[in-house]
Amino acid sequence: MTRLADDMNEALRRLGVDNRSGYVITALYKFVDLADYRALQPRLQTLCDAHDIHGTLLLAEEGINGTVCGPRHGMAAFLDWVEADGRFNGLSLKFSASPEQAFLRMKVRLKREIVTMGRPEIRPAQATGTYVEPAEWNALIDDPDVMVIDTRNRYETAIGSFAGAVDPQTDSFREFPAWAENLASGEGGRPKKLAMFCTGGIRCEKASALMQDFGFEEVYHLKGGILRYLEDVPREDSRWQGECFVFDNRVAVDHELKPGRHAMCHACRMPLAPEDLEHQDYTPGVSCHHCHGATDAERRQRFAERQRQIEIARQRGGAHLGAAARNELETRRRDRREGQQED
């Protein structure tokens, strides 16, 4: 067994996960020059398919990014492959557990950027801000000269963030450069130091490189992101407030990295608290109070049919969505890509 597989087992042991049960969710990324990224696509797809690993991996010339889920033995094989390629030394990895498969299928996609900011000329593999370990984060953000910036989107910040963090109120990471440029202009005062964070570390790492390009000299970013902070920092010492949005069927996790209290509106993708599910505008799979009235009759009909297929599959004990539901999910993903780039 390789070092990365050992790291996975140790991380799961700390989470109190039984060695024999469930699935492993692995979030990973690294900014690294991958001139052959196109050639890696079929090799990774074949590897994951062979080991029952589902999820999404993004490959670009600037590196690799993604979240995958599979049985422990399959994830160990995946990590063995990764470790055999020396370019992935130092890969950022975060492990968590799931009682079931968290994703419908496996997709390895080719992209211009592994996290879409719309600034492919910004290359964190060549220059980026200063990593800050979770154990040192509290002291940094307590510094009155530091502006703490949440680089995530508004649907994520709505359910949790660090106390006192600035929220740029973006709907996608593509909007962040415009907000950052305004901050760099000095309108309203230019901060001396910046401390940036995101879910797993990738967006804040790229954002730190952008801030350096805008002329900020002291730029810091949380190594491993919120998820690593929640794993390493005891609750009694934590500055985190609320839950952390994650991009899988758990929707959000609490401070112990266990599934939180939020569900998701499968029409608009907004996280919903338990009380939101009692709102008069909430219809499972069709709408919530965030999006009620914002979709036309045709799309509502498609959403309702998808939900009907999900219920049929659930009643039959099916492990997958029906064909109509799967097609609708693909339509929504396409609509989302056209309206705002994934990050």
* pLDDT reading at 312 higher than 60: yes
Tell which residue, 215, 165, 218, 168, has the closest CA to residue 192: 218
CATH architecture of 3-110: 2-Layer Sandwich (3.30)
Characterize the bridge pairing of strands 54-60 and 106-110. Answer: parallel
Q: What is the mean pLDDT of the chain?
A: 88
* Residue 333 pLDDT level (bands cut at 50, 70, 90): very low
pLDDT tier at 309 (50, 70, 90 boundaries)? confident
Residues of the chain with CATH 3.40.250.10: 130-244
Query: Does residue 341 carry a pLDDT above 80?
Result: no
Token readout for 216 is 């900020």
- Write the CB contacts of 189 (distance below 8 Å, at least 6 apart in sequence): none
Question: 198 catalytic, yes or no?
Answer: yes
- pLDDT the model gives residue 317: 66
CATH 3.40.250.10 fits 130-244, yes or no: yes
Catalytic pick from 48, 198, 244, 265? 198
Q: What's the whole-model pTM score?
A: 0.80
pLDDT tens-digit readout, 77-106: 999 999 999 999 999 998 888 888 888 899
Q: Please, what's the b/e burial string for 283-321 (b: 16 or more CB within 10 A of its CB; e: otherwise)?
A: bbbbbbebebeebeeebbebbbbbbebbeeeeeeeeeeb
pLDDT digits (tens, 9 = 90+) for 224-237: 999 999 989 999 99
Q: Which part of the chain has CATH 3.30.70.100?
A: 3-110
Give the separation between CA 314 and CA 310, rounded to whole angstroms.
6
DSSP-derived 3-state class of residue 329: helix
